[in-house]
Chain A
Amino acid sequence: QVQLVQSGAEVKKPGASVKVSCKASGYTFTDYYMHWVRQAPGQGFEWMGWINPNGGGTIYAQKFQGRVTMTRDTAISTAYMELTRLRSDDTAVYYCARRGRESLPPDYWGQGTLVTVSS
């Protein structure tokens, strides 16, 4: 079965960076783009971008360009999302989510990683 297992919660100070990992299993990692989506406390979802694990090509939402970097390591079927110059309003649960087999929005989601930005 498809599983996406993310790294644990992080607490960061403003201005720092965070890198979240997402280990995929149960399917061929390079066959499906990986989305990154975040959800601020009590809010809806915000798409950050996605990466094509087959080749590493990325598309980032304009809001995050210059601050986000998505990478992958195909040898260990793991995707990464790094966000720099963190601000308090970056406090959110960050999800990796696999592109759907028959649709562009996600099908399977990771369990989420809470990133708290606080001085």
Chain B
Amino acid sequence: QSVLTQPPSASGTPGQRVTISCSGGSSYVGTNTVNWYQQLPGTAPKLLIYTNNQRPSGVPDRFSGSKSGTSASLAISGLQSEDEADYYCAAWDDSLNGVVFGGGTKLTVL
């Protein structure tokens, strides 16, 4: 059972905006920043968002992140078929002294 809570699935049609939530306790999401990753089938994760809302170079601005209190969100606007993937959040846990992950959200583009 994952420490951070994500919905197991999400879906949308091309062009729509979807959001994926990530909630956790005060020792991780509450006090530390959140990263988001995209994992296409059979591949390694790719960093989409770091420190809550920053995009690495090369990541389209259709992807955005936010955090409030002990919850974070990933938003994908202008949904495209190639966005169909698994999405994971992660944060540092001060109690564990390590990284904790969400269970992942499988995004389906209808």
The interface of chain A, by Cβ under 8 A from chain B, is: 35, 37, 44-47, 49-50, 59, 61-62, 95, 97, 100, 102-112
* Chain A residues near B22 (CB-CB < 8 A): none
B88 engages A47 (CB within 8 Å): no
Contact with A along B79-110 (1 / 0, CB 8 A): 00000000010111000111111111000000
CB within 8 Å of A: which residues of B? 2, 32-33, 35, 43-47, 50-51, 54, 56, 88, 90-92, 96-104
Which one, A45, A50, A102, A112, contacts B90 given CB within 8 A? A45
For the complex, what is the distance from the CA of A72 to the CA of B103, rounded to whole Å? 30
Q: Which has the most chain A C-beta neighbours within 10 Å: B45, B99, B102?
A: B99
Instruction: Name the CB-closest residue of A to B102.
Output: A44
Instruction: Identify the closest chain B residue to A4 (Cβ).
Output: B44
Whether the Cβ atoms of B99 and A100 lie closer than 8 Å is no
Q: Complex: how many Å from CA A100 to CA B91? A: 11
Give the docked Cα–Cα distance between A108 and B57 (Å). Answer: 13
Q: A105-B90, A106-B47 are in contact. List 19 more A-B contacts (CB 8 A).
A: A44-B2, A44-B88, A45-B90, A45-B101, A59-B97, A59-B98, A97-B45, A100-B35, A100-B47, A100-B50, A103-B50, A105-B35, A106-B45, A106-B99, A107-B47, A109-B44, A109-B46, A110-B44, A112-B44
With A35-B99, A47-B99, A59-B97 given, is the CB distance from A105 to B92 under 8 Å? yes
Q: Which residues of A contact B97 (CB under 8 A)?
A: 59
Q: Please, which residues of chain A bring their CB within 8 A of the CB of B51?
A: 102-103
